[in-house]
Chain A
Amino acid sequence: MNNATDIGRFSLASAPVELRRSETRSAFIAVFRGAGLAQLVAVAIVVLHLVVAIGAPVVAPASPTAMSRQAILAVPSSEHPMGTDKFGRDILSRVVWGGRTAMFVAIAATVLSLTIAGGLALLAGYVQGWTDLAVSRFMELLLTIPSLLFALVLVALFGPNLLTLIGAIGVVYVPRLYRPIRVRAMEISSREFVAAARARGEGLPWILFREILPNTSGLVIVEFAIHFSGAILLVASLGFLGLGVQPPTPDWGMMVNENRGVLANAPWTVLFPAAAITSLFLAANIASDLLQSRFDRPVARQRQ
């Protein structure tokens, strides 16, 4: 909300020198020191989701796409812990592999977005003047399009598939990531060590990536966390609308959508994937709140 008063409160992030390794480790521990039980549980849940996603081929008891005529809409049992869907596919395996889809798309999209937005924000924040004005105005303009709508239009153009999904979510988040990083880059640009680098005759890339970038690390971590959880929601929502990854690739949102018709007879087909999305999204939100309280953030949190 109030940028002017927030500047100078970044204890860790605004350290004018790069952190040494040992300091980085103690900073990592400091994030968790004094965290509440709910926050620690949330971090554990996110890590668990990540581990399951990476180990999906080992964790899943069956193939997520193998159909079985003998087990159509089977009730949860020891053989199928979460039951099966109308094609006899094992829900647990589909939930496990669906998590892999969600994680992969969300991480790839957020990294893509951070790369584009971060590069532009560092440049605009440091160079300022016309470049800053032009880029910032364009970003403000992109912000006037609600995120889901923006993603929908992009999917309409390029067709629903994995690459479009990553690209669309990545592009949608660029203006949202740009704003806070630019504010931060601008603030750092006025510090003495940047002026010193300029006086030494360092080039633009050195100043942007070796002087300014390391000092935005706290902010970048927080922004990554916030937009990662946002991306999880967007992937699931687009999947639910049938505009995410396409069958047979398992996806949580798609699973909720394709099984809605049998909600009355076989609620497990819908409720398990719904619970998976909610647990990851909730845990990611709480974890990003924890990071936010540790690293602070110059622009108030907005998600829409």
Chain B
Amino acid sequence: MVAVARVILRSVGGFVVTLIAASVIVFAATTILPGSVANAILGQQATPEMVKAIEHRLHLDEPAPQRYARWLAGMAHGDFGTSLTANQPVADLVWPRFRNTAALAAAAFLAAVPLSIALGIMGGLKAGSWIDQVISGITLAMLSIPEFVVGTVLVFAFAITIPLLPAITLVDRNLVPVSFASALILPTLALTFSLLAHTGRLVRTIVQETQASDYMRFATLKGLTTGRLIFRHLLPNVLPPVLSVVALNVGWLLSGVVVVEAVFNYPGVGTLIVSAVNDRDVPVVQAIALLLGAIYILANTLADLISRAINPVLRGS
């Protein structure tokens, strides 16, 4: 019991330390050029006095450690600063969008993960067979089509050639995601496409490695049925590494979601960060980068914890 508590504590501690370090990086990266922020707001006609006034209002004239402390303390209170272009609290801007992105990402994950595990087992069980080669070939091809090309082709096929689904998402950003289910289908498909291929290939490698182990060979020699072999011997051993692969793919998904949202004008954090980058709206970029970074770090921590919980060998280490 004590050992379990220690493992959990260490993981949580690691999460907090990494998150703080990530926040320092995000902060440092976005504050290297303080002058440009004021210039971005004011445009070409900025006089030195106006720049100074803006910098004072945004506390840009303070030393960096003080600004970092202010930024961190604000976030602890749910205050992510004020958007430079929308003149609105960053939190109010980001949260509704984040809900939409979460809905899209969750849909893609639900579709991709079980499918990719099934594909990976099919290929990995008989590595080198024709089934394996076909799956490998198809997944490599799927992996090699950029998300925005997949999205654009989907629009061409199912919104233009066969007008079944909406090409772009025209929804009020305050609506609940469930109410625009039809608008979710194409973005989800586009996102699932490469996620499925990527995860499937990694699962295949893991299955193939497990398949070569002594206990799997012994179980096969005992004459167990394929079903029993898969569900009692293969899955329990394959699941922990697969879970960490899935968690690592959260990072992949976060990159993919930015592009896919842009294809469909989906009102999520992806389209928001792209427009914020264009406007050089630093507080918004900072908040979204940190939010997505935190999710990624959290996913990795969870994967680590889960694999320790499932595999007794890892529990102590």
Contacts and interface: CB of A to CB of B under 8 A. Distances in A.
Contact of A144 (B22, B32, B206, B259): B22
B148 A240 contact: yes
Interface residues of A, number: 46
A103 interface: no
A179 to B, nearest CB: 13
A285 B144 contact: yes
Contact of B198 (A145, A148, A289, A303): A303
B146 A157 contact: no
B154 to A, nearest CB: 11
A267 interface: yes
B276 interface: yes
Contacts of B209: 1-2
Nearest to B142: A282
A300 interface: yes
A304 to B, nearest CB: 4
Contacts of A302: 248
A299 interface: no
Contact of A274 (B137, B153, B202): B153
Interface in B124-152: 137, 140-141, 143-149, 152
Contact of A277 (B25, B146, B254, B292): B146
B271 to A, nearest CB: 9
Interface residues of B, number: 55
Nearest to A152: B277
Contact of A285 (B29, B140, B259): B140
Contacts of B18: 141, 144
A257 to B, nearest CB: 8
Given A148-B259, A286-B140, A300-B205, A155 B277 contact: yes
Contacts of B202: 300
A233 interface: yes
A147 B282 contact: no
B111 interface: no
B278 A281 contact: no
Contacts of B32: 157
Given A146-B296, A267-B156, A141 B252 contact: no
Given A146-B252, A157-B30, A242 B258 contact: no
A157 B33 CA distance: 7
B21 A253 contact: no
Interface in B236-290: 241, 248-249, 251-252, 254-255, 258-259, 262-263, 273-274, 276-278, 280, 282, 285, 289
Nearest to B18: A144
Contacts of B148: 236-237, 240, 253, 256-257
B274 A277 contact: no
Nearest to A273: B149
Interface string B13-34: 0000010011001100110110
Interface in B171-200: 198
A87 B153 CA distance: 23
Given A141-B18, A149-B254, A153-B29, A263 B152 contact: yes
A236 B146 contact: yes
B113 interface: no
A183 interface: no
A274 B293 CA distance: 30
A267 B159 CA distance: 13
Contacts of A303: 198, 252
Contact of A149 (B30, B143, B149, B289): B289
Contacts of B285: 152-153, 156
Interface in A215-253: 233, 236-237, 240-243, 253
A300 to B, nearest CB: 7
A302 B149 CA distance: 21
A102 B261 CA distance: 23
Tell me which of A141, A285, A289 has the highest count of chain B C-beta atoms within 10 A of its own C-beta. A141
Contact of A281 (B25, B144, B254): B144
A261 to B, nearest CB: 11
Nearest to A145: B293
A278 B144 contact: yes
B164 interface: no
B280 A156 contact: yes
Contact of B254 (A146, A237, A263): A146
B259 A145 contact: no
A142 interface: yes
Sorted nearest first, the 9 A-B pairs with minimum C-beta distance are: A148-B255, A282-B144, A304-B252, A156-B277, A304-B251, A146-B251, A274-B149, A240-B148, A285-B144
10 contacts: A144-B18, A152-B277, A152-B289, A153-B29, A237-B147, A243-B278, A274-B149, A281-B146, A304-B248, A304-B251
Given A157-B30, A263-B160, A281-B145, 10 more contacts: A1-B209, A146-B255, A149-B289, A243-B278, A256-B152, A274-B149, A282-B144, A286-B144, A303-B198, A303-B252
